[in-house]
Amino acid sequence: MPVDFQPKIIGFLCNWCSYAGADMAGTSRITYPSNIRIIRVPCSGRIDPLFIAKCFTEGADGVFIAGCHPGDCHYIEGNYYARRRFALMGDLIEYLGIEKERYQVRWVSASEGKKFSQIISAFTDKLAALGPRIKG
C-alpha cells in the first residue's frame, strides 16, 4: 500500500443536524482531514442504502453517514427507519467482504461540530491504515 495513501471518503449528511454540525465545525474553525466529500440530503431517511453499495462499487474507500440523534429527527421518524436500513446494508457489505470499518453511521447534532471533526479524523485514520479498498 502506498505510503501517503489518501482514502477517498463519501459522506451523506442530513441537512438539519449533521450537515449543520459539519458547518458548526467550520464556523468554529476546527480542522480535520480533508479526505471526506460531503453530499447533502434532507434526512438520513432519504439515503437509499444502495447508495452505500454504489459508492463502494465506484471505488470509494469509505462511506460515512450521519443523521439527527434518535428522537431529534427534523422529520420525526426518518432516522429510526434509516437505522434499520443501515444495519442491514452493513451486514450485507461486510458479508461481501468489505471491512465493516469502511462504513460508519453516526448521530451528529447541529451543535456537535467538535464531535463531527473528531469522528471524521478517527474514521480517516482508520481508513488510511486499512489501505485502498480495491487492492493492487
Partner 1 sequence: MSRIGVFVCHCGRNIAGTVDISTVVEAAKKLPNVVYVEDNKYTCSEVGQDVIKKTIEENQLNRVVIGACSPRMHENTFRKAVASAGLNPYLLEIANIREHCSWVHSDDKEKATAKAIDLVKMAVAKVARHQELFPKQVGLTKRALVIGGGISGIQAALDIADAGHEVFLVEREPTIGGRMAQLDKTFPTLDCSACILTPKMVDVAQHPNITLLTYAQVLKVSGFKGNFEVEILQKTRLVDHDKCTGCGSCWQKCPQKVASEFDFGLGNRKTIYIPFPQAIPNKPVIDTSNCRYIKYQGWEKDSKGKKPPECRICEKVCPTDAVDWGQKDEIINEKFGAIVVATGFKTFDHTTYGEYGGGRYPDVITGLQLERLMSASGPTEGEVIRPSDGTHPKTVVFISCVGSRDDHIGRSYCSKVCCMYMAKHTIMLKEHDPDIQSYVFYIDNRTGGKGYEEFSRRAQEEAGALYLRGRISKIYRDGPKMMVCGDDALMGRPVQIAADLVVLATGMDPSDGVVELAQTLNISYDTNRFLIEAHPKLRPVETQTSGIFLAGVAVGPRDIPDCVAHGSAAAVKVVGLLSQDTLTTDPMTSIVDPAKCVGCFMCEDVCPFSAIYRETTRDGRPVAIINETLCTGCGLCVASCRPGAIDLHGYTNQQLLAEVVSLCR
Partner 2 sequence: MMDKNIVKQIRDKAKELLSNGTIKCVLGYETGTDGMNARPAFIYEPEDVDRLIFDNTCTHNLSTYLRDKRENPVAIVVKPCDARAINVLLGERQIEREKVFIIGIVCQEVVQVSWGELSHDAQMRCKICNQHTPVIYDFLIGGPVDESAPKAEPPANVTAMEGKSSGDKVDFWSGQFSKCVRCYACRAVCMGCYCTVCFVDMLDPEWVGIKIATPENQMWNTIRAFHLSGRCIGCGECARVCPVNIPLDLLNMKMEKEVGEHFEFVSGLSSEEPAPLASFLKDESLGIGE
Task: Determine, following the binding rule CB under 8 A, whether residue 54 of this chain makes contact with partner 2.
Answer: yes
What distance in Å separates the CA atoms of residue 76 and residue 44, rounded to the nearest whole number? 11
DSSP assignment string, the chain:
--TT----EEEEEETTTHHHHHHHHHHTT----TTEEEEEES-GGG--HHHHHHHHHTT-SEEEEEEPPTT--TTSSHHHHHHHHHHHHHHHHHHTT--GGGEEEEE--TT-HHHHHHHHHHHHHHHHHH--SS--
Binding residue for partner 2, selected from 15, 83, 110, 118, defined by CB under 8 A: 83
Task: Determine, following the binding rule CB under 8 A, whether residue 119 of this chain makes contact with partner 1.
Answer: no
- Of residues 80-109, those binding partner 1 (CB under 8 A): 81-82, 85, 109
What distance in Å separates the CA atoms of residue 136 and residue 133, rounded to the nearest whole number? 9
Binding residue for partner 1, selected from 5, 59, 87, 99, defined by CB under 8 A: 59
Q: What's the min distance (Å) between Cβ of 121 and partner 2?
A: 18
Q: How many residues bind partner 1 (CB under 8 A)?
A: 51
- Of residues 95-114, those binding partner 2 (CB under 8 A): 95-99, 105-107
Closest to partner 2 by CB, 34 vs 122, is 122
Q: Which residues bind partner 1 (CB under 8 A)?
A: 8, 10, 15-17, 19-20, 22-23, 25-27, 29-32, 34, 37-43, 45-49, 51, 54-55, 58-60, 68, 71-78, 81-82, 85, 109-111, 117
